[in-house]
Structure 1
Amino acid sequence: MEAGSSSGSGGVPQPLPAPSMRSRVFYRFTQQNLPACKPTLTPVSVITTFLLIGIIFVPVGLVCLRASRSVVEIVDRYDVECIPEQYQSNKVAYIKDSSIFKNCTRYLKVQSHMKAPIYVYYELENYYQNHRRYVKSRSEKQLLYGLKYKDTSSCKPQELSNGLPIVPCGLIAWSLFNDTYSFLRGATVMNINRKNIAWKSDRDHKYGKHVYPVNFQNGTLIGGGKLNPNSPLSEQEDLIVWMRTAALPKFRKPYGRIEEDLNAGEVITVNLVNNYNTYSFGGKKKLVLTTSGWLGGQNDFLGLAYVATGFSCILIAILFALIHVKIPRPHGDTNFSPWNRKSNAS
């Protein structure tokens, strides 16, 4: 029987259907027969590639480092200094005693000119917001729909208070950061803009515009800050910022913006209220004032990574070059490469 035909009923040869374009392409793909770029790595090409990577990466890293170092930052740890002398041996008792006023005054000296906007952050250390039990203790649908959403079992143990539902429920909202800061420039109070510190997507899509706090922080055990019961959750940006949990035990969260320049040598007076309990678990609290560059805040990691990678590539290129000069390796004949055998045979 001839190829490309088959016997039908009555023994009459029937032609076989021609393979479709799709099946032919699929066959070539599964057999790794499609055209492809198959470069031959010679010593010269390898050395050149490493050298080019190093020449590009080192200047980029230096530019990133310069941008990071141009950011002016003031960091002040206040959790220890703001404890009165008589309570230094028992900080937990001091922070839990609601009858004690916890006002504290700090003085920050501006070392270099700080151009507005100046971002104000609070920094916490040894605080594990990424703990599985803590992260799961919230209800996304309740934040959006309020009391209309009834299933808040994920919020335990802060689901109910005195038998009534809590809005917003969960451990994250319950432990809301509640230290406050105000700034004086001489005798003049500096304005802190506390709007638009949270992500716009969070304000618009994750927190209800008609959802108000209900029965919040009314239990016997108070975890942190309170909320304004007359303001919807979408406008309470302190809560929105806090609810976006941090991945690492040391993190910063925005508090506001100072929209006026600070000159070098000035002393800024900070009146703060030291409410938040980090003493029970050995945490640290810091106040951070920082400017911003085109690359963001002060972080040398990106620049150092580029510089380290660039110098490593340059060193590898030099090492390969020395080896190639001292112990040259004869090149193979590319005509005998697997992808050239078929053309040679024909």
Structure 2
Amino acid sequence: MKDQGENSDLNHVPRNHDSINNFINYSLNKSEAIKEQEFAMSKWKGSSKLKGAIFYFIGGLYLLIAGIVFEVKNNDITEIRADYYSFPACSNYGTSCCFNINVPNHISGPVYLFLEIKNYNQNTDTYFKKYDASQLYSNINGEDTGDCNPFTTNDEILSNKPYIGYKNLDGGTLQPQSIAYPCGIRAYDIFQEKFTVQNLQTNLKYDLSYTGISWQYDVDNMKNQKPSEQWLDLEFEPYQIWMRPSGLSKFRKTLGKIQSDLTAGAYNICTSNTYNISIYDSQKSLILSNVNSVGGKNLMLVVSHLVGGSVAILGSVGLLLWHYKKRLPQ
């Protein structure tokens, strides 16, 4: 049996009944006092309105700060738009055309060329499903043969592309009734216009780079598996970008980039103008823009954060007033 030392609690317990009762009452009162202190410290948790006000204020403050940062970043970006589909020189589909643009200030490279299309829906169920994934991605290995109907054969795909002809990647001739490689509506509608950019002051023509613009997954897995049967170079990154459908009816696709700077002045841009948008009642534009740490210029990103942050802070003020209104003397 364990010895009771001098510091044992049993040595301090009173031996008569009155003392024992007093000791018990003292212990109970002490326990109740501790509970009251804990309750007082956690009393603020009972107000969901106050917690909501704090949550909305912090969230709104974050959105406002982010919106201001995005606006500052947007101001560092120079974006030049040319709605060349509406230019008289480019009104004839299938005929090369040129137009001039003005660069208002020096733009540090790289300068990206974007295609912007409006009123064009790639987000339909048909557009998503009507293709053969095994033709595009070498890592699928025929697991998904897909359904390309009604754009299955070379004739169905290439009949609207006279500027290509029935040629494979090796320079040979493709059979019109053979399965197109790739097939499907994405391949049928692919954008294949070529652009050149020239400085009118120096007559310098800029080389366009087509690497480093596509998703790394597509670069690694979208390969030319059968060059003798293919009409499209799947390792050309602008084509890889097109093969990924966009979720909105207005979207941008990267066409390439100029690695060097652009000085202020007039520039001449020429395009093969082979993409016919009239059958879709769409609009196409060429955009030259530099980028920064948050990407390209995006006004919607700024507006959505500023509006969202303002609404959240107003909501926090409303909840705070509601919280204290209940505590004011009537």
Q: Establish whether TM, by shorter chain, passes 0.5.
A: yes
Does 2:242 correspond to 1:242?
yes
Question: Relative to structure 1, is the Cα distance of residues 189 and 262 closer, same or farther in structure 2, using a 3 angstrom cutoff?
Answer: same
8 Å CA contact 1:183, 1:268 repeated in 2: yes
Alignment-derived partner of residue 277 in structure 1: 276
Give, as a single letter, the amino acid of the residue that structure 2 aligns with 1:135. F
Does 2:292 correspond to 1:293?
yes
8 Å CA contact 2:210, 2:236 repeated in 1: no
Alignment-derived partner of residue 212 in structure 1: 227
- Provide the secondary structure at the position in 2 that maps to 1:169: coil
Residue 294 (structure 1) shift: 1.2
Residue 149 (structure 1) shift: 4.9
Q: What is the CA–CA distance in structure 2 between the aligned matches of 1:134 and 1:57, rounded to whole Å? A: 35
Alignment-derived partner of residue 199 in structure 2: 185
Alignment-derived partner of residue 68 in structure 1: 74
- Provide the secondary structure at the position in 2 that maps to 1:177: coil
Q: What is the CA–CA distance in structure 2 between the aligned matches of 1:81 and 1:314, rounded to whole Å? A: 47
Residue 188 (structure 1) shift: 1.2
- Provide the secondary structure at the position in 2 that maps to 1:270: strand
8 Å CA contact 2:131, 2:185 repeated in 1: yes
Residue 215 (structure 1) shift: 6.2
Question: Relative to structure 1, is the Cα distance of residues 143 and 310 closer, same or farther in structure 2, using a 3 angstrom cutoff?
Answer: closer
Please identify, of 275-284 and 58-67, the stretch whose mean Cα deviation from structure 2 is larger.
Answer: 58-67
Residue 284 (structure 1) shift: 0.7
Q: What is the CA–CA distance in structure 1 between the aligned matches of 2:144 and 2:68, rounded to whole Å? A: 53
8 Å CA contact 2:118, 2:250 repeated in 1: yes
Among candidates 195, 216, 239, match of residue 200 of structure 1: 216
- Provide the secondary structure at the position in 1 that maps to 2:280: coil
What TM-score, normalized by structure 1, do the two folds share?
A: 0.67
Alignment-derived partner of residue 25 in structure 2: none
Give, as a single letter, the amino acid of the residue that structure 1 aligns with 2:188. W
Identity over the aligned pairs, expressed in percent? 26
Q: What is the CA–CA distance in structure 2 between the aligned matches of 1:113 and 1:72, rounded to whole Å? A: 9
CA displacement 1:299-342 (0-9 Å, x = unmatched): 13333233223322332333344455555358xxxxxxxxxxxx
Alignment-derived partner of residue 251 in structure 1: 251
Among candidates 172, 189, 196, match of residue 186 of structure 2: 172
Residue 250 (structure 1) shift: 1.1
8 Å CA contact 1:145, 1:211 repeated in 2: no
Q: What is the CA–CA distance in structure 1 between the aligned matches of 2:59 and 2:241, rounded to whole Å? A: 40
Alignment-derived partner of residue 8 in structure 1: none
8 Å CA contact 2:67, 2:305 repeated in 1: yes
Please identify, of 249-258 and 61-70, the stretch whose mean Cα deviation from structure 2 is larger.
Answer: 61-70
Aligned pairs for 1:115-154 (under 5 A) are 115-144=108-137, 149=142, 152=145, 154=147
Question: Relative to structure 1, is the Cα distance of residues 323 and 291 closer, same or farther in structure 2, using a 3 angstrom cutoff?
Answer: same
8 Å CA contact 2:180, 2:230 repeated in 1: yes
Alignment-derived partner of residue 268 in structure 1: 267
Give, as a single letter, the amino acid of the residue that structure 2 aligns with 1:181. F
Count of aligned pairs: 262
What TM-score, normalized by structure 2, do the two folds share?
A: 0.70
Q: What is the CA–CA distance in structure 2 between the aligned matches of 1:44 and 1:329, rounded to whole Å? A: 15
Residue 214 (structure 1) shift: 2.0
Q: What is the CA–CA distance in structure 1 between the aligned matches of 2:210 and 2:73, rounded to whole Å? A: 26
Residue 79 (structure 1) shift: 0.7
CA displacement 1:91-150 (0-9 Å, x = unmatched): 6xx43xx6xxx121111111233111111111111111222222212111123459x859
Calculate the aligned-residue CA RMSD, in Å.
Answer: 2.9
- Provide the secondary structure at the position in 1 that maps to 2:114: strand
Q: What is the CA–CA distance in structure 2 between the aligned matches of 1:153 and 1:323, rounded to whole Å? A: 58
Structure 1 runs not aligned, ≥5 long:
1-37, 85-90, 217-226, 331-346
- Provide the secondary structure at the position in 2 that maps to 1:164: coil
Give, as a single letter, the amino acid of the residue that structure 2 aligns with 1:212. P
Question: Relative to structure 1, is the Cα distance of residues 43 and 201 closer, same or farther in structure 2, using a 3 angstrom cutoff?
Answer: closer
Give, as a single letter, the amino acid of the residue that structure 1 aligns with 2:73. A
Residue 267 (structure 1) shift: 1.0
Residue 237 (structure 1) shift: 2.1
Question: Relative to structure 1, is the Cα distance of residues 124 and 329 closer, same or farther in structure 2, using a 3 angstrom cutoff?
Answer: same
Give, as a single letter, the amino acid of the residue that structure 2 aligns with 1:41. S
8 Å CA contact 1:144, 1:211 repeated in 2: no
Q: What is the CA–CA distance in structure 2 between the aligned matches of 1:138 and 1:302, rounded to whole Å? A: 33
Residue 177 (structure 1) shift: 0.8
Aligned pairs for 1:93-104 (under 5 A) are 94-95=92-93, 102-104=95-97
8 Å CA contact 2:241, 2:254 repeated in 1: yes
Does 2:305 correspond to 1:306?
yes
Q: What is the CA–CA distance in structure 2 between the aligned matches of 1:56 and 1:236, rounded to whole Å? A: 40
Alignment-derived partner of residue 114 in structure 1: 107
- Provide the secondary structure at the position in 1 that maps to 2:134: helix
Question: Relative to structure 1, is the Cα distance of residues 311 and 202 closer, same or farther in structure 2, using a 3 angstrom cutoff?
Answer: same
